[in-house]
Structure 1
Amino acid sequence: MEYQTKSHCKYLIALHLILVVKYRKQLLQGIVGDFVKQKITEISARSEFNVEEIEVDKDHIHILLTISPSICVASYVRRIKQSTTQSIWGRFKWLKKQFWFEKTFWSDGYFVCSVGNASTDTIRKYIQEQG
């Protein structure tokens, strides 16, 4: 990962983000997990963050992303959660039985940790080995 430059700053903000499926339901296996990874990658293409690494486990997803300092972390998380939830519900109608018709997919919270440049490779390897 390289430093990014804007008109008045130079930065490298790398984050390890973990999102958990509501009720820890093991829904990220197979086609749903692949779909979620694809959607998050598409969201990053039109947003101010880059997905460096992404991998799913049975009930949660690990994302290594780099962000801009101009937007708060919660805004990135909100965008990812809202967009993926809408896409998932549009594609996988059988989820109605999993969540009692409540249009949700992710648990309310999230884990995020800043990653220093020196340990990025360690985090990247950890994420690649998930699932």
Structure 2
Amino acid sequence: MSVGTFSQIYIQVVFAVKGRNSLILPAWEDELYKYITGTVQNKNQKMLAINGVHDHIHFLIGMKPSCCLSDLVREVKKSSNKFINEKKFMNYKFEWQVGFGAFSYSHSVLDNVIGYIQNQKEHHKKQSFKEEYTLFLKKFNVEFKEDYLFEWIE
């Protein structure tokens, strides 16, 4: 048996449409999620869940230690941006917001996180993205300044 690297790294990634505009439409969101899943898998990472609402998305991956998360998210955003624009899902240029959130989880809570991601549309009937995102930052003890969060449309 050869010596190898063994790991268990689970990361939830969250990012928003530029300006938090409500641009992700139900008519094409499944196609977008399949495209993003393909991008993640092509980078040799494991997609565990993906979903979102009109202004942001969440995805949960099983990440290999050789993966650079910021490079992966940059590639997902860049390629999906291009995909949306080339498919002409809308009449104007689509862009993702600069930045993202990344939150790590233990294996024991994966079912809860997957359920949370799958239930995004119901969840956001009661809570705004800004409330949700700020809660994540506080729950995970991530220091932040309000001025440096996403651009919010109020």
TM range (shorter): 0.7 to 0.9
- In the other structure, the counterpart of 1:81 is 77
Kept in 2: contact 1:15–1:64 (CA 8 A): yes
Give the whole-Å Cα distance in 1 for the aligned partners of 2:22 and 2:42.
29
Give the whole-Å Cα distance in 2 for the aligned partners of 1:95 and 1:122.
37
Percent identity between the two aligned chains: 25
SS in 2 for 1:10: coil
Look up the equivalent residue of 2:90 and give its one-letter code: W
Instruction: Give the drift of 1:32.
Output: 3.1
TM-score computed with the length of structure 2 as normaliser: 0.72
Give the whole-Å Cα distance in 1 for the aligned partners of 2:41 and 2:6.
21
Give the 3 Å change call, closer, same or farther, for CA 61–8 of structure 1 in structure 2: same
1:61 aligns with 2:57: yes
SS in 1 for 2:31: helix
4+ residue segments displaced more than 6 Å: none
- In the other structure, the counterpart of 2:21 is 25
Structure with the larger strand share? 1
Uncovered stretches (5+) of structure 1, i.e. residues with no partner:
1-5
Instruction: Give the drift of 1:28.
Output: 1.4
- In the other structure, the counterpart of 1:107 is 97
RMSD of aligned residue pairs (Cα, Å): 1.7
- In the other structure, the counterpart of 1:45 is 41
Look up the equivalent residue of 2:115 and give its one-letter code: K
- In the other structure, the counterpart of 1:123 is 113
Kept in 2: contact 1:55–1:130 (CA 8 A): yes
Q: Please give the per-residue CA displacement for 1:43-87, whole angstroms capped at 9, x wherever unaligned.
A: 123222111011121211110111111121101101101110111
SS in 1 for 2:47: strand
Instruction: Give the drift of 1:92.
Output: 1.6
Look up the equivalent residue of 2:116 and give its one-letter code: Y
Kept in 1: contact 2:13–2:59 (CA 8 A): yes
